[in-house]
Amino acid sequence: MQRFIRGATTALNNDKAEILEATRELIERVISENSLDISQITTITFTCTRDLDQVYPAVAARELGIVHAALMCIAELYIEGSLPKCIRLMMGVDSDVSQAMVKHVYLRGAAVLRPDITGGTQSKPFQIAIDGPSGVGKSTVAKLCAAKLGFSYVDTGAMYRAFAYYFMIRSVDVSDEVTIINTLDSLPMEVKFENGAQVIYLEGRAVSDELRSQDVVLYTSKIAKIPAVRQKLVAIQREIAEKASVIMDGRDIGTVVLKDSPLKIYLDASAEIRTKRRVSELERLGHKPDFDTVLKEVMDRDYADMNRENDPLKKADDAVEIICDNMDAYEVCAVVCAMARQRMNS
């Protein structure tokens, strides 16, 4: 009897090779999960979001030897809030398995159906929380995982720096908590995701480049201690995570910001290893750092993070700890992505 199986995935880039790789992976998983033989496939209808236009995904089906099935490719109607760079399929198969028992497959963060179909009532987007001490590589791993899974990478640190930048250029003294607190609700900040990257706007102007100066970093370390600032940003971060599959890194993501995240990672490495990495980074920038001095700075930062009064750094009870002394960022990314895909499809 004719049965129908849904599937969806995302491509990392609008690139022919990447689109075909993602499509092949999706087709192979649908076949594997449903114990199908290629001869059982009668039709496959593919759709792509409008940001993918370099190749027909049906090419991947032919490359896999699916030569007798009827194939069709359709450009998907753009709906506000849809997952970007998304490939979907509807596969018709001859099978004795009941329609209720077929296994639909969603990969690379494509766990939510289109908002025009679901009315926003489909299961919540997937969230990954990564915590750990400074210099352990959280941001690097998070960015790699976001690209691989098709998630949005939420740079929480940049949000704090944007708050700090806003008050710093207005010469607001960081000790003037009254002014800062009274301004929080009207602060003209927007967080958008453009081509998969987070862009922060203040008063309608993108300010991401301005947030990298050492002056902003130093001011941020002071303003981030104000509880009202933390509460405001946590609310913004949670709102983002309710609308799309995200990965966030920080020091209190799994314990405070995304307490209900289905996948929490605590990334750790020895102070010596983190110091070695930091020294190498500084040397690449032309500096000549003293190892012992940098080691002391790393250990002092650890102590401050773990003993601060508000939301100290600690491993969530349900977090998976990854000790990455002997792992590079790509190896850690592979482990995290494997766990994410397993939990999304379980």
Active-site residues: which are they?
6, 62, 73, 76, 88, 106, 114
Q: Quote the CA–CA distance of 301 and 322 in Å, as a whole number.
A: 20
DSSP 3-state helix, strand, coil percentages of the chain (rounded to 5)?
45, 20, 35
137: left (phi over 0), alpha (psi -120 to 50) or beta: left
Provide DSSP, 248-276.
EEESSIIIIITTT-SEEEEEE--HHHHHH
Q: Are 34 and 99 in contact (CB under 8 A)?
A: no
Residue 298 structure tokens: 């790393």
Contacts of 327 (CB under 8 A, 6+ apart): 335
φ, ψ for residue 314, nearest 5 deg = -160, 160
Q: Quote the CA–CA distance of 2 and 40 in Å, as a whole number.
A: 9
Residue 57 structure tokens: 């995904």
Which residue's structure tokens are 């607190």?
181
> Could you tell me the end-to-end alpha-carbon distance of the chain, in angstroms, rounded to an integer?
27
Q: Quote the CA–CA distance of 140 and 206 in Å, as a whole number.
A: 22
Distance of CA 76 to the CA centre of its chain: 24
Contacts of 306 (CB under 8 A, 6+ apart): 312, 313, 314
Q: Quote the CA–CA distance of 246 and 163 in Å, as a whole number.
A: 21
